Amino acid sequence: MSLTIHGIGVSGGIAIGHAHLVSHTKLEVAHYDIPAEQVADESARFDAAVKTVRDELEQLRGTVPAGAPAEFGAFIDLHLMILADSTLSVVPRTIIRSEFCNAEWALKIQTDELLQQFDTIEDSYLRERRTDVIQVAQRVMKALSGQPGYAPPPAGDSERNLVLVAHDLSPADVVLFKQHQFASFVTDLGGVTSHTAIVARSLNIPCIVALHHARQLVRENEIIIVDGTQGVIIVDPDAQVLAEYQLLQREFGLERQKLRRLRDTPARTLDGIDVELHANIELPGDVALALDGGATGIGLFRTEFLFLNRPDLPDEDEQFEAYRQVLEEMDGRPVTIRTYDLGADKQIDDSARLATNPALGLRAIRLCLTEPKRFITQLRAMLRASLHGKLKILIPMLMNASEVDQALQLLEQAKRSLDDDGITYDRNVPVGGMVEIPAAALALGLLTKRLDFLSVGTNDLIQYMLAIDRTDDTVAHLYDPLHPAVLMVLGHIFRTAGKVGIPVSVCGEMAGDVALTRLLLGLGLRRFSMHSAHLPDVKQRVLKTHLAETAPFARRMLRATDPGRLHLMLDKLNA
Ligand code: PEP
Ligand code: MG
């Protein structure tokens, strides 16, 4: 029977394919007793789960993407080793036999025991393997619950027909999908600016989040239509609906092809104002798409993705290579590399996820300042890469003057250490700050006095202004870039930056929302950075904008407080 489920579209277009269910990331462990005669079956079930995970990991190892960090393969080998160790693959069977309990419970008892032992280990390297044990145990647990962990389907054409249906996935999970060519990707949880959605958007396929119960309602292999523009999925559609969407899909494809012709056209308004359209990337491998979309620079390289999906941290040389690659491939165009914004929904240590309010916690620059050695390693790698292109360094989540001063001091320290080592670099690399915390946006002088440029992270700015967790699907509908307070603050930032003559860009998702292009231009923005997929649409809008006519109307929108009126005004602006 046909079924329609509504969510929030994060990436437009239409996909039609077969559902491929991806398992939950969090698991509840049931405990129940089993009769003696069931012990053998329960042990066999455990063995089968271990085998499933071994097969998954081996398959994953065979499909490591070309652009993946070098350690990714080693990380899979490590997980295979942990899985093969008798403490995980044999002892739970003994527990099933001695305790007459279900396999999940036996695995939980044994994992808890192992983790306790890890806590007493002095060697820091070995202690850090704790997270790997948790991850391997979770995979076995997922397999046991009849929901095997994500096993990539065979590469090739068949992937193009798959719609991944997930309950929840971390940004780190999604970044691994970049090696595949799925038709679409939908999740139950997540907000429109969650990092999972952001990475999903960079896959350049229709995506929907906040579907709430899709993972429960959809069955493996069912036909699904994903309308990413409307934020709706149609499960098991009838023939007429299917035919209508196939037609829409073709039309959408033709429209995209036409837009591609704008790639090399400069983004200039009808009245001759030049606008910079840059791309946001997560990994060096994304540069090709950025250039293909006509990006004239990289406005945001989210370097924290180099730190995810691996058991260890990338060292200075590995980071240097990644930054050098991006700078060289951008061939003299500006490249803004952001210091790592780990924490919140991008954790390298799973236990840190337990923070009560991770988005308000130890993330981004706050985390960097607590780990100066790790931060300096990254700064040294960036500075070394500075000779290979036009580098700018961007610091996320700044809130007060002391953070800016400390960050700049650490940069000086990194420069001195390079001097001591006789390594050359560009001494005048511009350093900018992200405006993401309302306090910094309002007291902008804190940043303008100390930094060379600003980049507004509207995803976090809106999260903190409207008090809505970006990752929480239950409040995703409250995300509102047109909230009068958001517009007022943006107007304030652009005006203030203009007055003191400091360049300002927007690199949050607002910059890639074509419905907001004219509004942002009218409020004074000239530098946009967005996922590559949005570049053609936004450029087309810029080309059709007469700024002298648009600006007074956009400024009038700053005075409107009625949401209905604001939406009407926006429609008029875009007409
Ligand atoms: C933002 O907050 O708008 C931003 C660009 O940074 P991120 O989405 O990575 O938090
Ligand atoms: Mg941010």
Catalytic residue among 195, 278, 388, 534: 195
Cβ of 457 less than 6 Å from ligand 1: yes
Q: Is 247 exposed, middle or buried (0-12, 13-18, 19+ CB in 10 A)?
A: exposed
Residue 546 appears among annotated catalytic residues = no
Pocket test for ligand 1, best of 459, 464, 471, 493 (most atoms within 8 A of CB): 459
Mean pLDDT, rounded, for 344-360: 68
Range with the lowest mean pLDDT among 65-74, 435-444, 491-500, 547-556? 65-74
- Structural tokens at position 545: 């904008």
How many other CB atoms are found less than 10 A from the CB of residue 102?
21
Cβ of 311 less than 6 Å from ligand 1: no
Cβ of 299 less than 6 Å from ligand 1: no
Percent of the chain with pLDDT over 70: 92
Locus of tokens 């962990």: 149
Q: Give Cβ neighbours of residue 113 (< 8 Å, ≥ 6 apart).
A: none
pLDDT in tens, 468-480: 998 888 898 899 9
Ligand 1 centroid to Cα of residue 404, in Å, is 18
Which of 205, 258, 263, 267 minimizes the C-alpha distance to 520?
267
Look up the pTM and report it: 0.76
Residue 66's pLDDT band, with cuts at 50, 70 and 90, is low
pLDDT in tens, 375-428: 999 999 999 999 999 999 999 999 999 999 999 999 999 999 999 999 999 999
Catalytic residue among 167, 507, 531, 534: 507
pLDDT in tens, 1-51: 799 999 999 888 999 999 987 764 444 466 677 888 889 988 999 999 999
What is the side-by-side strand order in the sheet with 184-187? 3-6, 232-235, 223-227, 14-22, 162-166, 184-187, 207-209, 8-11
The protein residue whose alpha carbon is closest to atom 8 in ligand 1 is 459
SS (H, E, C) 93-109: HHHHHHHCECHHHHHHH
Ligand 1 centroid to Cα of residue 387, in Å, is 27
Cβ of 188 less than 6 Å from ligand 1: no
Residue 90's pLDDT band, with cuts at 50, 70 and 90, is very high
Q: What is the pLDDT of residue 151?
A: 40
Ligand 1 centroid to Cα of residue 111, in Å, is 36
Q: Give Cβ neighbours of residue 283 (< 8 Å, ≥ 6 apart).
A: 67, 175, 178, 305, 306, 322
pLDDT at 150 over 80: no
Q: Which is the closest atom of ligand 1 to the Cα of 456?
A: 3
Cα first-last separation, the chain: 39
Range with the lowest mean pLDDT among 33-37, 73-77, 480-484, 558-562? 73-77
Nearest bound ligand to CA 345? 1
Confirm if 245 and 225 have CB atoms less than 8 A apart: yes
What phi and psi values does residue 273 have, to the nearest 5 degrees? Answer: -90, 125
What per-residue string of b and e applies to 428-449 under the rule 16 or more CB within 10 Å gives b? ebbbbbbbbbbebbeebebbbe
Nearest bound ligand to CA 461? 1
The protein residue whose alpha carbon is closest to atom 1 in ligand 1 is 457
What's the chain's average pLDDT? Answer: 89
Of all helices (H) and strands (E), which one includes residue 223? strand 223-227
Residue 167 appears among annotated catalytic residues = no
Ligand 2 centroid to Cα of residue 459, in Å, is 6
List of E strands, 167-275: 184-187, 207-209, 223-227, 232-235
Q: Is 45 exposed, middle or buried (0-12, 13-18, 19+ CB in 10 A)?
A: middle
Q: Which is the closest atom of ligand 1 to the Cα of 457?
A: 3
Ligand 1 centroid to Cα of residue 511, in Å, is 11
Q: What is the pLDDT of residue 125?
A: 67
Mean pLDDT, rounded, for 305-334: 93
Ligand 2 centroid to Cα of residue 281, in Å, is 13
Cβ of 458 less than 6 Å from ligand 1: yes
| Alpha carbons 137 and 104: distance in angstroms, whole number | 10
Locus of tokens 């047109």: 482
| Alpha carbons 46 and 484: distance in angstroms, whole number | 56
Cβ of 436 less than 6 Å from ligand 1: yes
pLDDT in tens, 358-387: 889 888 999 999 999 999 999 999 999 999
Cβ of 460 less than 6 Å from ligand 1: yes
Q: In Å, how far from its chain's centre is CA 469?
A: 15
Q: In Å, how far from its chain's centre is CA 114?
A: 32
Ligand 2 centroid to Cα of residue 360, in Å, is 12
Confirm if 470 and 449 have CB atoms less than 8 A apart: no
Cβ of 282 less than 6 Å from ligand 1: no
What phi and psi values does residue 430 have, to the nearest 5 degrees? Answer: -65, 145
Mean pLDDT, rounded, for 486-508: 97
Confirm if 249 and 14 have CB atoms less than 8 A apart: yes
3-state DSSP call for residue 35? coil
